Amino acid sequence: MEKFMLIFRNEIEVEHMYQNFSPEEMQAELEKWNTWIGGIAAQGKLVATDALQPVGKIVKGSAHLVTDGPYTESKEIVSGFLLLNAGSMEEAIELSKGCPMYEYDSVVEIRPIQNYQ
């Protein structure tokens, strides 16, 4: 079994759309996520998952220069991640297909975790 990280990338407009959801719309959206993630967990493939705040800090270089970021003027932001176990990249892709992000033409980047053993 290999580990894969699914990185959720939203267009800025999608993030703003979530902010304007009514409580009922937000609950319905969370239910979609819970159903999808619950299905992965039920298969014993979920390692970790979480949403990310749209703001943070960037630390750069040997001088450890700290700046605000990521910048909201960029087209996409990373809104969260899911770490899972899968037998192959193809299986990880299949598991990603239930992600609610696709309903908004958002992007799920799938990357294998480097194994140093």
Domains of the chain: 2-112 (3.30.70.1060)
- Whether 116 and 91 have beta carbons less than 8 Å apart is answered as no
Q: Is 44 left (phi over 0), alpha (psi -120 to 50) or beta?
A: left
Out of 1-5, 54-58, 72-76, 100-104, pick the least confident.
72-76
User: 3-class secondary structure for 59-93?
Assistant: EECCCCEEEEECCCCCCEEEEEEEEEEECCHHHHH
pLDDT at 73 over 90: no
State the average pLDDT over residues 57-73. Answer: 85
Rounded to an integer, what distance in angstroms lies between the CA atom of residue 68 and that of residue 28?
A: 33
In 3D space, the residue among 51, 52, 46 whose CA is nearest the CA of residue 4 turns out to be 46
Average the pLDDT over each of 19-23, 37-41, 111-115 and give the range with the smallest value: 19-23
pLDDT band at 71 (very low <50, low <70, confident <90, very high): low
